[in-house]
Structure 1
Amino acid sequence: MSQGAKLQKIAVSAIMLLLSTLIFWVPFYFVIVNSFKSSTKAADMNMKWPDTLHIIDNYKSVLTAADNMLVRAFYNSTLLTILSVVGLVIVSSLAGFVLQRRERGKASSTFNFLVLAGLMIPPAVVPTIWVLNSVGLFKTLTGLTLVEIALHFPFCAILYKAFTATIPRDIDESAFMDGCGGLRLYTYIIFPLLKPVTSTIVIIQAVNIFNDFVNPLYFLPGSENATVQLTLYNFMSMYITSWNLLFADVVLISIPPLILFIFFNKKIVAGMTAGSVKG
């Protein structure tokens, strides 16, 4: 590599680092600094470091507000995330495996179209509430879990289908010759080979569902059912907003997704690109 090419590469890397700092870390610093301030100082909305820190008072107030609602919200969000991700992995991997192995035929084309339509057609809130209410699942964690699975299913199924295409069909034929059934083939042979894309889906969807604001607001109303994102309403009102507590709440609910991303970002990239070799 020539000297000019090296300098160009360094310049591009520096520009990208600067842009990422401006886009991601400056706002995060702004939130953290204002979560350390008093209510009056935080209302100024600047990035000046406070003269007096109110870290313990602010974060204690957030954790104990509304009868420890944030603690309940963390439990609700964690349970919702675990149930939804497990359901997504099971349903999407089965669907991706079947769609890829039986990709010829009119029925398969129809199912592929329906999966793609799920990515393009926006969800209908009122009909979904009517359906959930009809089956007795409205305002329940089970109902919201089914909604999350349905909304994220198309994306996950497409990823699983693309990755399944990289697994040779000879494995299926050998298993069938040894007397292995379809479900046993999937459970003991195919699914373990889907580990890279499964890791990607678990991380991405866990962050998406944990950070979901709209669906819990519509399909799981009620203070006892609050999720972490809905706790932001505790510190916002029409007349007075406790910005220091609001920012402290944002910091607390951002920690779990941030930890997931920092430790597993390489797995995300590996799983997203693993199925692009063969389609």
Structure 2
Amino acid sequence: MKRQRIRSWTIGVIAIAVSVIVFLVPLAFVLLQASKTPDDASSLAFTWPKEWSFFPNLIAVLESGDGLIWRAFFNSALLTVFSVALMVIIAAMAGYVLARKRSKWGPVVNFFVLAGLIVPPAVVPTIWVLQGLGLFKTLPGMILIETTFGLSFSILMFRAFFGTVPRELDEAAVLDGAGRVRMFFQVILPLLRPVIVTVIVVQSVFVFNDFQNPLYFLPGADNATVQTTLYSFAGQNLSFYNLLFMDFLLITIPPLVAYIFFNRQIIAGMTSGAVKG
């Protein structure tokens, strides 16, 4: 018994040490670089700042580009809210149909859902489609792109969770005179709170942190998102690493706060579909 406790304590210490190395050390490096002067930060050394410039760097980032960072946060917030809202609604309905209805088309649909996780997006054809629809370089077009790319993961999450929802609830709602749409939104959807929170947090962090898709499908300074603002402080000829790391620190705070406050809900949503009720 004592040996088992020592072993558990040792494993716990090792896990904490690994967590510190993986998460806290990079965060400390970013904080130190964001607090340095331009000359001091250019060496990218993991050292104490010779002169603390945290607040001057913060003000410089907030005022750069005529308030570029503020526009970027606004664009990213709109992109995240509307994309995730569409993901939740569409994925919940699609997951419900795939989990409840048995059809010969089921395996085909499942194949395409899984393919969405594996097959990389085709950039040039997607741009052609957006241009044909008049949605290229527009926020609505970018919302549709993010929604589409996040649907596969969301559908799989909802479909797995529906295994914990008894079919008797569907039958009871139908016997009470509820239609399919009313039954879904008034009976089934309120039961999906754990997986809804999980999908919202995970996909919000993904959309908010997305750099590649806005770079391809939403170019332009007026359409900047928080990740594309990093280009403002790093270039081919001149880089302000202190401002770059300050910008990086600012755009890391929202996802970090989301994971801290919704950690338990994320775990509950991820594991709830593993046990059938």
Quote the offset at 1:107 in angstroms: 1.7
The match for 2:163 is: 165
1:246 correspondence with 2:222: no
Is the 1:88–1:156 Cα contact (8 Å) retained in structure 2? yes
TM-score (norm 2): 0.98
The match for 1:39 is: 38
Is the 2:113–2:152 Cα contact (8 Å) retained in structure 1? yes
Q: Which amino acid aligns with 1:56?
A: F
Quote the offset at 1:221 in angstroms: 0.3
Q: Which amino acid aligns with 1:184?
A: R
- SS class of match (2:52): coil
The match for 1:100 is: 99
Is the 2:163–2:273 Cα contact (8 Å) retained in structure 1? yes
> How many matched pairs?
277
Correspondence list, 1:5-16, <5 A = 5-16=4-15
- SS class of match (2:227): helix
Correspondence list, 1:32-181, <5 A = 32-102=31-101, 104-181=102-179
Return the alpha-carbon distance in structure 1 between the equivalents of residues 105 and 95 of structure 2.
Answer: 14
Deviation digits for residues 211-254 of structure 1 (CA, Å, limit 9, x no counterpart): 00000000000000000000000001112210100010011111
The match for 1:214 is: 212
Return the alpha-carbon distance in structure 2 between the equivalents of residues 251 and 175 of structure 1.
Answer: 49
Is the 2:40–2:50 Cα contact (8 Å) retained in structure 1? no
The match for 1:17 is: 16
TM-score (norm 1): 0.97
Task: State, as a whole percentage, how many aligned pairs show the same letter.
Answer: 46
Most deviating of 90-99 and 43-52: 43-52
Return the alpha-carbon distance in structure 1 between the equivalents of residues 108 and 179 of structure 2.
Answer: 25
Return the alpha-carbon distance in structure 2 between the equivalents of residues 211 and 51 of structure 1.
Answer: 31
Is the 1:162–1:278 Cα contact (8 Å) retained in structure 2? no
- SS class of match (1:138): coil
* Root-mean-square deviation over aligned CA pairs: 1.0
Is the 1:129–1:138 Cα contact (8 Å) retained in structure 2? yes
- SS class of match (1:156): helix
Return the alpha-carbon distance in structure 2 between the equivalents of residues 106 and 13 of structure 1.
Answer: 49
- SS class of match (1:85): helix
Deviation digits for residues 65-123 of structure 1 (CA, Å, limit 9, x no counterpart): 11110000000000100000100000000000011110x22122221221111111111
Quote the offset at 1:198 in angstroms: 0.3
Stretches of structure 2 lacking an aligned partner (at least 5 in a row): none
Return the alpha-carbon distance in structure 1 between the equivalents of residues 104 and 118 of structure 2.
Answer: 21
Return the alpha-carbon distance in structure 1 between the equivalents of residues 136 and 49 of structure 2.
Answer: 45
Return the alpha-carbon distance in structure 2 between the equivalents of residues 26 and 239 of structure 1.
Answer: 29
Q: Which amino acid aligns with 2:18?
A: L
Return the alpha-carbon distance in structure 1 between the equivalents of residues 214 and 135 of structure 2.
Answer: 13
